[in-house]
Amino acid sequence: MNESISPTNRISCCEPEKPMQKPGKPVYLKWEDWKRPLFSLVLLLGAIPLEIAAGEYFFYGWIRLIWYVLAYLPVAFPVLSRAWDLIWKGEVFTEFFLMGIATLGAFAIGEYPEAVAVMLFYAVGELFQEAAVKKAKGNIQALLDMRPDQVAVWREGKLHAVAPEQVNPGEVVRYKAGERVALDGLLQGEGGLFNTAALTGESLPRAIRPEEEVLAGMVILDRVVDIRVTKPFQESAIARILKLVQGASARKAKTEQFIRKFAKVYTPMVTYLALALVVVPWFFVPEYDFSTWLYRALVFLVISCPCALVISIPLGYFGGIGAASKNGILFKGSNFLDLMAKVNTVVMDKTGTLTKGIFEVVKTVTTGGSDDESWKSMAATLEQSSLHPVARSIVAHVSSGPMENLPEVTEQLELAGMGISGKVGHQTVLVGNHPWMQQHHVGGVNDTVDPGTSTIHVAINGIHQGYFLIADTLKADAKTAITDMKRWGVQEFFILSGDRQEVTDSVAKELGIPQAFGGLLPEQKADKLTSIQSEPGRIVAFVGDGINDAPVLALADIGIAMGGLGSDAAIETADVVIQTDQPSKIAKAIQISRFTRKVVWQNILLAFGVKLTVLILGASGMASMWEAVFADVGVALLAILNAVRIQYR
């Protein structure tokens, strides 16, 4: 990239870019969809005065039949053609078949208005069902709509407009204020303000500093920025979200699976019962009238249509997944949504889950017998080449104040979990924990540790100079998360951490969690979780973010990964991903799942209760086709409207 080109010239030299298309407000019900039902409604309403005023003059016989056929066909044709197509495929007993038989039978016995009304209301119900499904998919479709078609990438000193899929890691992409980031990368140059709502649900913009990560789906708000791409488009945050959420529909909840299986048995069963309702009374009823019993059978068929269950229950679960994704929570299937509603025990990792995972120096103590604090600068100089989070916290702390110009570091040696050593000029510097100091025979080192902190000692030429007290601070909403989870039915909490027991206990005490286990290796975490799960009646969710949490996430009844900063292994293994890294979202996930389950069971009881009542009335001749319409279409609409409520949680 040619750095001599000014920012202004860089923009002007770019090839013509395709302007960003801002998605418009989605339309769930279109005028074209209503033409057929409105035409049928006008003819049906127009027939009422004709029946009253002209029934004896000309509105009878073939004229009356043709009028109602014209009213019937616009709404019936799509249903009948769909039924025919499914019959050819071997699927005879469907709701389309039931509605077709019921309405054609009504025509056969001369009940024209009722036949038209049943099919009209059914068609209107289908439109509302379709609109509700589109609304449920709206949050996920918004992710698809917001992917930019092209990005401006720097190549040979010029900006070229290319598809995101054609950009390679390491290349630099430019975005103007208001544009949406298409690929994950590191921010170059100055910092910027980004809208992260599409990924995290956060309403407030996030300030991102140079060399910090920017994720696909974020929107730059305040200026032109350059971002160095770190991942190909297929592995970007937004692509990962889409893959997770789109795959969710393939994993059905047990309730949803049962209803689908039930409908396959239920539909042919009620068809044969309706047939029996016509035939059997001929043997037992003295004054048997075929039209009367056929009418009752047709009413029976309309009532028994299972569309209220078949549509509203999957819609409820899909609405729950959509509501969760809007809040930055990704369920990998409705089965996990169902299971989350039953969780009564939550086990959590500490670092990166309850705490920020960003270490800070909270105190420094000089023990070298003088006021000379140059040891801090020497420690920071030695730590500059280390990638360990503790090393970075020391460098950040010391570099915030005056830092001496010290010689280059030589003979550097770092031992994971212990410390680092090296020569700064002619002086040997050691930075590390108490065992590291003991290993190098440094005297005067006190191993006492303040609760909740880690002690990093510094020695120069074998003499202890002082130490840093380093702490990992709690996330802002960690306490709220515990309180909210208790309110939503979680009874027990555990912390399993690889950190020292005293540090783990300090965090647990601050959060009011009585059971905390520290110093655990990954396999020990797995053993401890298995022990927790062995208690009868426990449904256990484990929350973690690191690669070492992947085995435990797989073992738990439901695994929850912190997806913003979490490892790819944890995210892939987990059943639920929290995009915002906020522990309070765990409570939100439980709330949405419990509400979804509640609505689904409300719909099941509503549908079965009303249908059973009207079925009995219809078979005994006490319910007409109009009651059947309510039992079918009316109940379906009520169930759909009830399910739509989930999307606003």
616: tokens are: 């009995």
Beta bridge partner(s), residue 562: 578
Instruction: For 143-173, give the secondary structure using H, E and C.
Output: HHHCCCCCEEEEECCEEEEECHHHCCCCCEE
449: tokens are: 């540790």
> In 3D, which of 291, 272, 249 has the Cα closest to residue 109?
291
615: tokens are: 């079925």
- Helix, strand, coil percentages in the chain from 3-state DSSP, rounded to 5: 50, 20, 30
Backbone dihedral region for residue 452 (phi beyond 0: left; psi -120 to 50: alpha; all else: beta): left
Name the active-site residue from 226, 338, 349, 549: 349
Q: Which residue has the tokens 């410390």?
A: 419
Instruction: For 34-103, give the secondary structure using H, E and C.
Output: HHHHHHHHHHHHHHHHHHHHCCCCCCCHHHHHHHHHHHHHHHHHHHHHHHHHHHHCCCCCCHHHHHHHHH
DSSP classification of residue 631: I
The contacts of residue 244 (CB under 8 Å, 6+ apart) are 330, 332, 577
- Cα angle: 444, vertex 450, 454; to 5 degrees: 80
Distance in angstroms (rounded) separating the CA atoms of residues 108 and 115: 10
In terms of DSSP H, where are the helices of 538-634? 550-555, 568-573, 584-619, 625-629
> In 3D, which of 510, 581, 492, 507 has the Cα closest to residue 543?
581
DSSP classification of residue 215: -
Q: Can you tell me whether residue 370 is helix, strand or coil? A: coil
Name the strand (E) or helix (H) holding 399: helix 389-399
> In 3D, which of 303, 346, 325 has the Cα closest to residue 625?
303
349 is annotated as an active-site residue = yes
Name the strand (E) or helix (H) holding 178: none
- Asked if 544 and 495 touch (Cβ cutoff 8 Å), the reply is no
79: tokens are: 């249903």
Catalytic residues: 349
